[in-house]
Structure 1
Amino acid sequence: MNFTNGTLVLRDRLLTGASLEVVGESIKGISAARADAESIDLDGGYLVPGFVDLHVHGGAGHDFMDGTASAFDAICRCHARHGTTSLAATSTAADAPYILRFLRECRAAKGRDTGGARVLGAHFYGPYFAANARGVHPGTPIRAPEESEFQHYLDYSDIFCTATIAPELPGAEVFARACASRGIRLNAGHSHATFGQVVDAINWGVRHIDHLFCAMSDRAKLRQSQTFPMRGGMMEATLFFDDLTTEVIADGKHLDGALLRLAYKCKGPERLALVTDAMRAVDCPDGEYTFGPPEHGERIRRFSNVGVTMDGTALASGVMGMDACVRTFLSEVPETNLVDVIRMATLTPARILGLEQSIGSLEAGKLADVVALDAELNVKLVYVAGRKVFDRSAT
């Protein structure tokens, strides 16, 4: 199978006049342009690697915290329609039975044919958040980590992609070091940590910061009184330390163009990933939805292409696919280009997860996760490991 008559978006350049050859589940290589019976005509559009989403909670009316195979598969099919071919199923703050149900289903879904995006594993996300930075997550389950509890979660360490901790919590270091000892990649987020506490977290093994600028400390939150010196927080530390990667929700609602430009300038395409932070209302009408497990989640609304709290005073997760994030970032950040923006949705998140040898770019030997985009960067075709999972012309 050959993809031809378009522009290939490679890790460092655009390439026209060439074909991408796929054999079975893998990319065989790039060759001179050709047309034969097995060719797929890109019709002058783009061929890009499949998007990789580090931070996604749901879609198509379902949340990963529903904890069922049907919910997982529906979410994966939903995000495949938006070009995502691999994702880290992301939990929410919840009590132990619901987290364990989520982890059991992640284990069952990893490697299973979902009919859409591939489940890479679990992003363990909550309940170990700072209460005053919980965002839309349910408040009751928010707590500091205790070893007697989190050891049960770490029984599923084989399917963890990442785990998030607020560094200022009592027990945060013990949890972080327990994760690191099992090879789990560590994030910090939903936190009002000081700059110094982020430095401590880096020493424990934290290397990634969740959704930059959202639900995190900055100097304004950390100024205790007029007589105390102003201190930096997680936002400043994220921008300062080259050791830290981070992510932005580029849906055009969470962050304006100036913040996207700042993130891009400070971190660059190698350290900045695009994420959707999408909840169950992706591809659904405006209305009320539950964020998290249906039994004890938080009620929120989809309104004007974003999730909002019921009183409308704050944002509450995303409702757009990764294709929208790519288009938004490209339009809002004039300093960037298509190669870098696609990289932030593909190879950079793959590298953050340590999976860049198998996914994230159009290179020989990698899985044939490929997406055909039209000239306006709308998704036309999606292949996961060489198998077509979405065709816009068939919908």
Structure 2
Amino acid sequence: MHKTQIKIINGRVITPYRIIDGATVIITGNNIEAISEKDIDAPDAVLIDAAGMYVSPGFIDIHVHGGGGYDFMDGHVEAFLKIAETHAKYGTTAMVPTTLTSEKEDLLKTLDLYEMAHQQNTKGSQFLGMHLEGPYFAQSQRGAQDPRYIRDPDVAEYTAVLDYSKSIRRWSAAPELKGAIEFAKYLKTKGVLPALAHTDANYDEVVEAFENGYTLATHLYSGMSGVHRRNAFRYAGVIESAFIIDAMDVEIIADGIHLPAPLLKLVYKIKGADRTALITDAMRGAGMPEGESVLGNLQTGLKVIIEDGVAKLPDRSSFAGSVATADRLVRNMINLAGVPVIEAVKMMTLTPATIMQVADRKGSLLAGKDADIVIFDEQINIKTTIVNGQVIYTAPDFGINS
């Protein structure tokens, strides 16, 4: 069977090591066949003229709850597919669908729906497996997570959940809770990444957690302790611990609101692009107009207000989720934090791919890797999204010649 070819010309191709001006990219079937500074003859290929714009690896969002008016907890396959389609328009070619703290039955149903949606998903961002956020959290750091479901790790529960589904790739928890270290050890035996989140841990607890598998800090600064006092003495919290432990990965919501420019600069300065993944943490309001919305399940979730480019609790006492898209994150790291384009792109591509252990096939433009590619202009406006060698989004002002 003849494989479809795509030829991208006149691009500023972003590799992990440099930007190649005027380069040609050849896609054959699902893979990148070649990248060259010279023209490559491919007479039967679909031609895409990048017109001097950036040709980048597809963005990889390892923490996302929703978008386009849908949430992964809505209870139907359509939600998964519509979220994937929405974020593909903003450059996301792969994502890790994320749950909220919920009843066990709702969680199992969501895992079932993931399996079905994964088979049907041909028009949006690819799914890389599920991320369970909760319910093993510190009540004091719950943020917008529903307090009714927050509890300590339950051996019978988490072993049953992991036996039920093989689609879980990461699980976020507070490592200071009773049983949380044993929980992490068990996750590791199942090939699941433990991440620390919604936690009041101190430095010693974080070090022990890291030693036992908690190698990723979920949405750094959000829902976690910083330096604090007990009986007049100061203690380092999770934030400082993540900075001190060089080998700990962090993810940040770089929407410019959860973290303003000085904190984006600080994270980049200390952790660098190789240890920092950009995440949207987006709820259903991503890609939607501002106004009233719901965090979590449409029927049973939390009412929130979307304004100022972020979701807030109705009393505006706390942020209740992000409405960011991946292009906005990259744009902010460049414009607000002064990060070079190649490094900002790495934080949205190769670094998350490495954290999720898919860097052998995703996250960089190299021959032989999956053909997940986005083309965008100087302002990171997405012009074309290619997933697995298929063009799934083209901006109205961008032409493709077949």
TM above 0.5, yes or no, is yes
The partner residue of 2:30 within 15, 21, 25 is 25
The partner residue of 2:148 within 140, 153, 157 is: 140
Cα distance in 1 for partners of 2:271, 2:397 equals: 39
- Residues 52 and 360 of structure 1 are in contact (CA less than 8 Å); yes or no, is this contact kept in structure 2? yes
1:78 pairs with 2:81: no
Do the aligned residues in 1 keep the contact of 2:22 with 2:52 (CA within 8 Å)?
no
State how 1:1-395 maps to structure 2 within 5 Å: 1-31=6-36, 32-33=38-39, 38-110=46-118, 112-220=120-228, 223-226=229-232, 229-334=233-338, 336-393=339-396
Question: Once the 2 structures are TM-superposed, how far is the Cα of residue 43 of structure 1 from its aligned partner?
Answer: 1.3
Q: Does the Cα contact within 8 Å between 1:91 and 1:123 map onto a contact in 2?
A: yes
What residue ranges of structure 2 are gaps of 5+ in the alignment? 1-5
Q: Deviations over 1:115-135 (max 9, x none)?
A: 100011100111111111011
Shift of 1:34: 5.2
Please report how far the alpha carbon of residue 389 of structure 1 lies from its aligned counterpart in structure 2 after TM superposition.
0.9
Name the CA shift for 1:388/1:156 in 2 (closer, same or farther; >3 Å).
farther
Q: Distance in 1 between matches of 2:96 and 2:397?
A: 27
Q: TM-score, normalization: structure 1?
A: 0.96
Q: Distance in 1 between matches of 2:64 and 2:85?
A: 13
C-alpha distance 376-394 of structure 1, shift in aligned 2 (>3 A): closer
2:3 match:
none
Aligned residues of 1:17 and 1:33 also touching (Cα < 8 A): no
**Deviations, residues 43-102 of structure 1 (Å, cap 9, x unaligned):** 111110100001100001110011311000000000001100000000001111111111
Q: Is the Cα contact below 8 Å between 1:274 and 1:345 reproduced in 2?
A: yes
Do the aligned partners of 2:169 and 2:191 also contact (CA within 8 Å) in 1?
no
Counterpart of 2:158 in 1: which secondary structure?
helix
The question of whether the paired residues in 2 share the 8 Å contact of 1:144 and 1:171 is answered with yes
- Equivalent residue of 1:330, what SS? helix
Once the two structures are overlaid, the 10-residue window that deviates more, 285-294 or 90-99, is 285-294
Relative to structure 1, the CA distance from residue 81 to residue 167 in structure 2 (aligned partners, 3 Å threshold; closer, same or farther) is same
Give the letter aligned to residue 224 of structure 1. Answer: R
Q: CA deviation at 1:375?
A: 2.7
Q: Is the partner of 2:106 in helix, strand or coil?
A: helix
Cα distance in structure 2, aligned partners of 1:15 and 1:252? 29
Question: Contact between 1:111 and 1:120, CA under 8 Å: does it hold in 2?
Answer: no
The alignment-based identity, stated in percent, is 36
Letter in 2 for 1:80: A
CA contact (8 A) 1:157 1:184 kept: no
Deviation at 1:331, TM superposition (A): 0.6
Ranges in structure 1 where 5+ consecutive residues have no aligned partner: none
CA distance in 2 between partners of 1:85 and 1:66 (Å): 22
Q: Give the AA of the match of 1:196.
A: D
Cα distance in 2 for residues equivalent to 1:301 and 1:258 = 26
Letter in 1 for 2:221: F
Q: Indicate conservation of the 8 Å contact 1:81/1:382, yes or no.
A: yes
CA deviation after TM superposition for structure 1 residue 27, in Å: 0.3
Aligned Cα RMSD in Å? 1.5
Query: 1:33 deviation in Å?
Result: 3.2
Conserved? CA contact 1:72–1:114, under 8 Å: no
What code does the residue aligned with 1:254 have?
H
C-alpha separation in 2, matches of 1:111 and 1:24 = 19
Letter in structure 2 aligned against 1:51: F
Give the counterpart letter for 2:152 in structure 1. Answer: A
Counterpart-to-counterpart distance in 2, 1:29 and 1:191: 45
Secondary structure at the residue paired with 2:374?
A: strand
Q: Is the 8 A contact 1:210 1:246 kept in 2?
A: yes
Q: Please report how far the alpha carbon of residue 175 of structure 1 lies from its aligned counterpart in structure 2 after TM superposition.
A: 1.4
